[in-house]
């Protein structure tokens, strides 16, 4: 490979005494696995840079499945994620590492990722809006096409108060059945616009993205979800009684 690529580390693990094996998310080549030789040695200038959420410029070489990292330079300081926002960022990273095919064009998704991480780093309010938007962008990148605005049975536009039941590979069909696969027209319009004005729309979006991503993730649970649950339980137990909801 020639030229520099903008990139983020999705995941890293020690490899031998002095090296790192990294999954990178790059602007032009999507997910790339690289070996960073000597990155853990005392003399390495990259020791603190090859971390998640640090914007990088990278170059690599090699023809096999695992490339060799040639150069890496941090563009700026690591984006400041902590607490709930950190676990949310780890979830986004794990999603990409699990579902993206290696070395595919992800230019538009790269900017969706950058936007999501920047919103998480801002630390304002709940991470739910940013996560749901990114999940929908990821599904679109994966080719998951679904029409949120029309009934798959009649072709008519959805109406706010009508209920539509999701059927895999078909879409949303008007139905009187109310269950976990049912959504109102108002909720579907929010999904189409990727704008969630209230908690009802956010909960519906989470239900849908969980269902839609499940086939891509298979039966293996996400480690970041379990970490997030543990953090939420701990945070809840430490919450002062006079501030309880």
Extended beta strands in the chain, E state: 5-15, 19-26, 30-36, 56-61, 66-74, 163-167, 171-174, 182-184
Options 3.90.1150.10, 1.10.10.10, 1.20.1440.120, 1.10.260.40; which CATH number does 146-206 get?
Answer: 1.20.1440.120
| Among 38, 36, 127, residue whose Cα is nearest residue 90 | 127
How far is Cα 146 from Cα 163, in angstroms, rounded to an integer? 17
pLDDT digits (tens, 9 = 90+) for 96-108: 999 999 998 899 9
Residues 43-79: tens digit of each pLDDT: 888 878 899 999 999 999 998 899 999 999 999 888 9
* Fold match flag (5-74 vs 146-206): no
Predicted confidence band of residue 223 (pLDDT cuts 50, 70, 90): confident
Q: What is the pTM (predicted TM-score) of this model?
A: 0.88
C-alpha separations of 96 from 31, 186, 188, 235, 244 in Å: 8, 29, 25, 27, 35
Confidence of residue 243 (pLDDT cuts 50, 70, 90): very low
Q: Which fold does the domain 5-74 belong to in CATH? A: OB fold (Dihydrolipoamide Acetyltransferase, E2P) (2.40.50)
**Residues 241, 244, 245, CA angle at the centre, nearest 5°?**
165
Break the chain into its structural domains and give their ranges.
Answer: 5-74, 146-206
């Amino acid at each position: 490979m020639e030229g520099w690529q903008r990139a983020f580390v999705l995941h890293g693990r020690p490899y031998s005494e002095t090296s790192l094996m990294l999954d990178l998310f790059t602007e032009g080549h999507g997910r790339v696995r690289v070996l960073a030789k000597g990155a853990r040695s005392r003399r390495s200038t990259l020791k603190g840079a090859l971390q998640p959420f640090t914007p990088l410029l990278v170059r690599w070489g090699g023809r096999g499945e695992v490339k060799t990292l040639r150069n890496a330079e941090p563009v700026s300081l690591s984006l400041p994620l902590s607490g709930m926002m950190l676990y949310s960022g780890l979830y986004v990273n794990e999603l990409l590492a699990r579902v993206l095919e290696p070395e595919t064009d992800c230019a538009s998704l790269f900017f969706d990722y950058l936007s999501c991480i920047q919103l998480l780093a801002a630390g304002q309010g709940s991470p739910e809006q940013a996560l749901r938007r990114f999940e929908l962008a990821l599904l679109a990148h994966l080719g998951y096409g679904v029409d949120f605005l029309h009934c798959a049975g009649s072709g008519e536009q959805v109406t706010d108060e009508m209920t539509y039941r999701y059927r895999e590979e078909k879409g949303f069909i008007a139905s009187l059945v109310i269950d976990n696969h049912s959504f109102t027209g108002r909720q579907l319009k929010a999904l189409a616009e990727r704008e969630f004005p209230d908690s009802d729309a956010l909960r519906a979006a989470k239900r849908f993205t969980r269902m839609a991503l499940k086939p891509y993730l298979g039966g293996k649970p996400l480690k970041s979800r379990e970490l997030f649950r543990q953090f939420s339980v701990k945070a809840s137990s430490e919450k002062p009684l006079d501030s309880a909801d």
